[in-house]
A = this chain, B = another copy of it.
Amino acid sequence: MAVYTEVSDEELDAFMATYDLGQVLSLKGIAEGVENTNYLLHAEKGYFILTLYEKRVREDELPFFVGLMEHLSAHGLTCPQPVRNRAGQALGQLSGRPAALVTFLEGMSIRRPEARHCGMVGQALAGLHQAGSDYPMQRQNNLSVEGWAQLVERAHQRADEVMPGLADEMSAEIAFLRAHWPKNLPSGIIHADLFPDNVFFLSGQLSGLIDFYFACTDSLAYDLAICINAWCFEGDTSFNVTKGMAMLEGYQKVRPLTPAEIEAFPILARGAAFRFMLTRLVDWQNMQVGALVKPKNPMEYYKKLRFHRQAQSVRDYGLHS
């Protein structure tokens, strides 16, 4: 939610001269994306998002992300489509940063999703999984069980400052998840961060998905478990089974879950809640006074984690099995 890198006229002119988009008519830094600098660029050929990749994104992983957006667009998913320059490259350099231009997607994210939105998100997620099924590149999910174990270590010492007993509970949780985390589920490209901020709607219909910078190769059903966490709880952190049912039904309209995925669902949802609790906890502990981006409260996901621990089966999420 910040412009970390400013772009001079000369640098922009030199960058845009490598594209075939006509004259630049305006450039506005936009408050979107926590990791990177984003500009909305209006050129004669249309509106585009110009992204400058900042240090937290590994440069050697950019071809995976940019290639994925290109692949998904080509397979019918509405997502930002990278624009290639005259040399056929989708990645360039601008102001000392790797940079890319992608098409601008109309639509607005919604702050208070209803069950019908959850249904559309489930369906779009399954569409993403299908469109990604023949994407040739792979990227390991560094925020899966072993990544969580590292975050538990980092956050352990000061975890009780957030809630007494949290450090011990985290140790028990990571031990449980390590012992029971499902293996050999259907795997492929997952979005891994499909929160309401990253889904656009227009005229009541889902109009596109954005922000693929956590995408990786992992269990498809784990991606759905992340969405259940992100979309189907109310403001008071109670689970809304109507929303869960809508999302699971929407997903299965396109890609029915396998029996193994259905059986594993409660633990996948539990792991997903733990993952967001951990990253938020680490951000919370490392918060700078007056920082540009205010960290989110980790306790929201602690409460969701408690719900998942009590879940007996996928029926608790609204699935008629």
Chain A interface (Cβ < 8 Å from any Cβ of B): 1-3, 8-10, 23-32, 40, 42, 104-108, 110-112, 200, 202-203, 288-292
Contact = CB atoms under 8 A, between A and B. Distances in A.
A105 B28 CA distance: 11
A237 B27 CA distance: 28
Nearest to A29: B31
Nearest to A37: B31
Given A1-B3, A112-B8, A42 B106 contact: yes
- List of 8 A-B pairs having minimum Cβ-Cβ separation, nearest first: A29-B31, A290-B290, A3-B31, A25-B106, A28-B30, A26-B106, A8-B111, A288-B290
B203 A26 contact: no
Q: How many copies does the complex hold?
A: 2
Contact of A107 (B1, B25, B106, B107): B25
A134 to B, nearest CB: 31
B40 A111 contact: no
A108 B9 contact: yes
- Taking each of A8, A42, A104, A203, which has the highest tally of chain B beta carbons within 10 Å of its own beta carbon? A42
27 contacts: A1-B3, A1-B29, A2-B2, A3-B31, A8-B111, A8-B112, A9-B110, A9-B111, A9-B112, A10-B112, A23-B202, A24-B108, A25-B106, A25-B107, A26-B106, A26-B107, A26-B200, A27-B108, A28-B28, A28-B31, A28-B40, A30-B31, A30-B40, A40-B40, A289-B290, A290-B290, A290-B292
